[in-house]
Chain A
Amino acid sequence: MPRQIRKRNGVVVQFDASKIFGAIRKANQAVGEEAMTPEMIDVLTKKVAASVEGNDIPTVEQVQDRVEEQLIAFGYAKTAKAYILYRAEHAKIRQAESSLMDIYKELTFRDAKDADIKRENANIDADTAMGTMLKYGSEGSKYFINNHVLPKDIAAAHINGDIHIHDEDFYMLTETCCQIDLIRLFSGGFCTGHGFLREPKDIRSYAALACIAIQANQNEMHGGQSVPNFDYAMAGGVRKTFRKAYFKALAQYFEVSHGMSRGDARALVSAVRESVGSEPTLQRGEAFGQALSEWLPAHQRENGFEAISAQEALAAHAYAMRTAEADTDDATFQAMEALVHNLNTMNSRAGAQVPFSSINYGTDTSPEARMVIRNLLLATEDGLGDGETPIFPVQIFKIKEGVNFNPGDPNYDLFQLAIRTSAKRLFPNFSFLDAPFNLQYYKPGDYDTEVAYMGCRTRVMGNVHDPDRQVTCGRGNLSFTSINLPRIAIEAKGDLKKFYKTLDDRIDLVIRQLLHRFQIQCGKKVYNYPFLMGQGVWLDSDKLGPDESVAEVLRHGTLSVGFIGLAETLKALTGKHHGESAESQKLGLQIIGHMRERMDEESRQTGLNFTLLATPAEGLSGRFLRIDQKKYGKLPGITDRDYYTNSFHIPVYYPISAFKKIELEAPYHALTNAGHISYVELDGDVCRNLEAFESVIRWMQKCGVGYGSVNHPVDRDPVCGYTGVIGDVCPRCGRREGEGVSIEKLRELRKKYPSMPRFVGLE
């Protein structure tokens, strides 16, 4: 029997076996069956005491773990369950006593740079008034959910770090994200909940309304917003702008060449619009010119207007086409530039955040869409004011063989431009429609069958609820919860059977939790989501009245189980992660494959879309690790760093070639149908080598990656505006971090770099 025990507050006191005896008795009494004799309790108490004997002083948590094990080992399953609940209840009480007000104090009196809790999500500025307000709400809500809403064992599993319920603060409120079809939304105009907007008539208003739609939806959901068909959606705006520009130019031509008054020229053009059947477009210019040259001379003659020959009509048409194309191109660039600026500056959530936006494009080969894609990439390459790299929208270039991947494909030039842009600005990322698990849905030219990704990596496509509607638009994730995989492996102590048993229990628990949350979500009405449901953004919500339940239409969404730290899991099970050993890779694929099978099975049984997610885990990477480090100490290769490795990634510290990394990670993309991403780190010089960059993307496509990108350092000196790799010294102005540069030097540099930032009042 150990002589001492370490209490939760770290104090070491004398070991007292009667406390174990008392706890077991209490749990057994609470059950009311499986009656245990005092002798039996005594045997168990001795077993527990013996099992924690050793050189180290045992902790209360360790002793409690052993009690659970012994109860289960001796077949007292119900008593074990009662004991677990008793522990969970006490864990909650302990937390309740200390936590909420301490959290509020920390939020109030400490800066984000000193308080990790204020940097949980890097895109929220928690130092601002509204950012802090948002955190008060968020932390208060989590407290409420843990203590008053969640079933006890689920709350305990979340608090103790077996699982993590993402966006738990929104548990009672809404869903994660949605893929917005702007084409449907714009048709006939829409209402944001704060005013009605007419159907846009120009590419500039298309782009502006795209931002507004993203913003309006973001305020009704807790995750991000994505436009899955940005090129298709904006093409309509370009078409309208072109038409307007064409007729304006046509009128100008006659004003200048024929000395017509503006009124006459306009009257002529309106007669053209009414009488020449077709409309001029970028693509069908020639046909319209032909029709014009046939109709106009006769029209002039018959009405006794001044003569215009067929040849002259053709010349007017040629001028109008040329001018309209150039004007439309300019307008489109402005529109895309404004979109990027707006999405980086417009507020959501009371000003604490900009909307989390993603846009997918690359496959529409119409000249209008191509103009959109080209100008968006050029505007992204230019950057924000003073040349800053835009953070939003997350851009995803959809790669498809026969459309843009190979020389000769109609959008191949845009793929090349995307590579150049990404090599400078980190965006776009690349998605791969030829990956078999994406290709199975693809129908040429139908954007609703092209898989799209949310910026963070979420993917929504398959639909067991309605197999005829395996589409991207109008759908999204409802909620997701992640499992702490490394912990299960640590506890299994190399016993694979035990590992799978615990994993299955955890998956069961998470499924139960996701359904618990789903029931709450199903209790909402259309009027709870004036934009998402009220404007028909979510699939089938257009068929519902304002007071109707959203339960049925929510079934188009996904419920996802996520995971973190496959690398550490494999380390714990076999001593090697999947980058180090082919055996571990095999086991890794078995584990993740098993999780996926469980999701598919659950989908079949419930008719709901259960999917497996390679969790993004921004805040979680540290949270699980910290709890586990406290529990198990610093286990080499498992808990000895400050984070768990993201999803199925090869650890970031492990030296491996880009190609090998991609090859090893690709098969996991096929298994994680709720979303995935792989990235490789290239150094700054490789990145400027566009062929090398492209070879990485092509390898991703070949290996069956679904979504990927290339990381490289993008540093910027705000003083001289230099963007690129900066070591200790800025290569342009020569200053070190924090040093000043003389005005003279900046003036000198500006002669060479006219777009450098300006310093108001100094120059």
Chain B
Amino acid sequence: MKGLKPTDMPQVTQARKRAAWVFDSPEPGSGARLFPRNRQAAAASADAIMEAARAFGRPNGAKRPQSARAPRAWRVAALAAAAVALIAISSTLTATLLRPLDVVEVRFTLEAPEASSVVLAADFNGWSPEGYELTRSAHDGTWSIVVPLRKGRAYTYNFIIDGERWVADPNAPMLLDDGFGGSMSSLAL
């Protein structure tokens, strides 16, 4: 009652009446209450407090917690986009950095000083020598060509001298019968 002015007296009286009502009408089995209370007013007050608590930190005008769904959807979409970007970057990096490790450049050489042309025919070019002409060294009669090949398997090949003579590589570690009356070289990488 502190701070009330005489003009507030009707309110004080009303409060006293409410208190008296509560005091005189205790809930069954609860005993007498120590403090005056109006149930409806208390419930309304509690609702108001809870609503204020729920609204705490919520942007002005935001009425419902459902409004949080939109930002969450955006977060999921952003996360998915980030994952896709990560996959793309990872794939590119793997393709760029790791794949060359799987391929080695192999130099095929043949000493044929008298030859006017030497070509390489192999299983890796479908036994088609086009584009696989060896280059003659200016210093000696050595012919050579560098071919990028994938590691992890064995290849078979022959040299064709002057367009007609098929020979195996005398320097190849592996030599095999080709089944057509000749021999072929094999190289494991």
Do the two chains bind? no
